[in-house]
């Protein structure tokens, strides 16, 4: 597989229905749940997901390591995707009603808990350009 297909991710900026340049997405927590559901179904390996969501983007785009940053996932959790529970402004997702297995429980960003059990804890502006 070439580098062009060596990464997977989410749109990060889903739009409102009816926008002329429609980009859909579910956010990174939802994307992780979708990809790990594929692992549970035997369509991907955990190594495939780790390579395409972490190692390959770092290598291809020259991204630095992010110390004290990780996610914690409950691999046995199962839930139904609902637009009302997504952290997006658009209020919809093409994955509405899909059942996924695995759920992001916690995100540690630069040593601080940014997300835990469905609650966004990071203050606006806490993000930063990792290349600086």
What CATH class does 3-120 carry? mainly beta
User: Using alpha carbons only, how large is the chain's radius of gyration in Å?
Assistant: 15
Spatial strand order in the sheet of 119-120: 70-80, 99-109, 112-116, 119-120
* Spatial separation of the C-alpha atoms in residues 67 and 65, rounded to whole Å: 6
Which pLDDT tens digit goes with each residue over 97-107? 999 999 999 99
Is it the case that residue 2 has pLDDT exceeding 70? no
Res 8: pLDDT: 61
Q: Give the per-residue pLDDT at 29.
A: 84
Please report which confidence band the pLDDT of residue 31 belongs to, taking 50, 70 and 90 as the band edges.
confident
Assess whether pLDDT exceeds 90 at residue 42. Answer: yes
Q: Are 111 and 101 in contact (CB under 8 A)?
A: no
- Cα(77)–Cα(33) distance, integer angstroms: 10
């Amino acid at each position: 597989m070439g580098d062009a297909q060596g990464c997977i991710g989410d749109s990060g900026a889903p739009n409102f229905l009816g926008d002329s340049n429609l980009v859909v997405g579910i956010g990174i927590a939802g994307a992780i749940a979708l990809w790990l559901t594929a692992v549970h179904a035997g369509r991907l390996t955990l190594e495939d997901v780790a390579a395409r969501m972490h190692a390959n983007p770092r290598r291809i785009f020259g991204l630095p390591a992010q110390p004290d940053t990780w996610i914690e996932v409950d691999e046995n959790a199962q839930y139904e995707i609902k637009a009302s529970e997504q952290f997006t402004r658009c209020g919809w997702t093409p994955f509405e009603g899909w059942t996924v297995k695995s759920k992001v429980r916690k995100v540690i960003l630069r040593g601080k808990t940014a997300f835990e059990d469905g609650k966004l804890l990071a203050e606006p502006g806490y993000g930063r350009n990792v290349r600086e």
